[in-house]
Amino acid sequence: MDKKRGVKLLLFIVVIAICIGGYLIYSNNKEKIDTKNGIGYGDPNAKIKMVEYMSFQCIDCYELHENIGDTLREKIKNGEVYYVVKHVDFDKFKYDDVIFNRIDNLDKIETVDYVMENYETWSKMKNVEDVEKFFNLGDVKKDRVEMQKHILAEKDDLKIDFIPTFYLNGKKYVGSFTEKEFNKMINDVK
């Protein structure tokens, strides 16, 4: 009787240790991603938080938007996803920060859509004046300049060296994905 009890206790301890180990491994694969210092769309209390480090002038970011834009917009609209854009400016993208820091109505997802839908036109322009005219850009929004400083520090802290990089409830994804792949990712974090 005592031997059986001892085996059961040992088995119980082993199961608990495995569960704790699994939890620790799983939880270490997720980052604590701040939803501040970005432009947010949708319900901040949504079950799924998507934080994307992106650039308007990045071809892979454009492709991701083309692939998942409709699905993402639908999930934002139905309250399933809170989406935060964290704009990352790389020196090689000469028009990117001009657009982010000066475009009006960036608090509306339709503005992001407009920028991305017209990517093939404005990204080929020869000078910043043409881009300014195309988007009818206003004055520099100082709050966005400050926001971008924080975002760039986050990018460095998170060791993000490729965009798009996005997080779904803290789980990191890098690159452009199809709509089917994105839907699977969303279902996996539900």
Task: Kindly report, residue by residue over 55-106, the tens digit of the pLDDT.
Answer: 999 999 999 999 999 999 999 999 999 999 999 988 788 898 899 999 999 9
Counting Cβ atoms within 10 Å, is residue 62 exposed (0-12), middle (13-18) or buried (19+)?
buried
pLDDT tier at 16 (50, 70, 90 boundaries)?
low
CA torsion sign, 97 to 99 to 104 to 110? negative
Query: Percent of the chain beyond pLDDT 70?
Result: 85
DSSP state of 4: H
pLDDT tier at 28 (50, 70, 90 boundaries)?
very low
Over residues 29-35, mean pLDDT? 71
Helices 59-77/109-117 angle, 10° precision = 150
**More confidently predicted of 11 and 100:** 100
Amino acid at 188: D
What is the spatial distance between Cα 71 and Cα 75, in angstroms, rounded to a whole number?
Answer: 6
Is a pLDDT exceeding 70 seen at residue 35? yes
The chain-wide mean pLDDT, for the chain, equals 88
pLDDT digits (tens, 9 = 90+) for 170-179: 999 999 999 9
Angle at 172 between CA 170 and CA 176, to 5 degrees: 135
Place of tokens 């036109």: 121
Place of tokens 């699994």: 22
Peptide bond into 164 cis (omega under 30): yes
Nearest to 33 by CA among 174, 169, 185, 187: 169
Lookup: tokens for 36: 């501040």
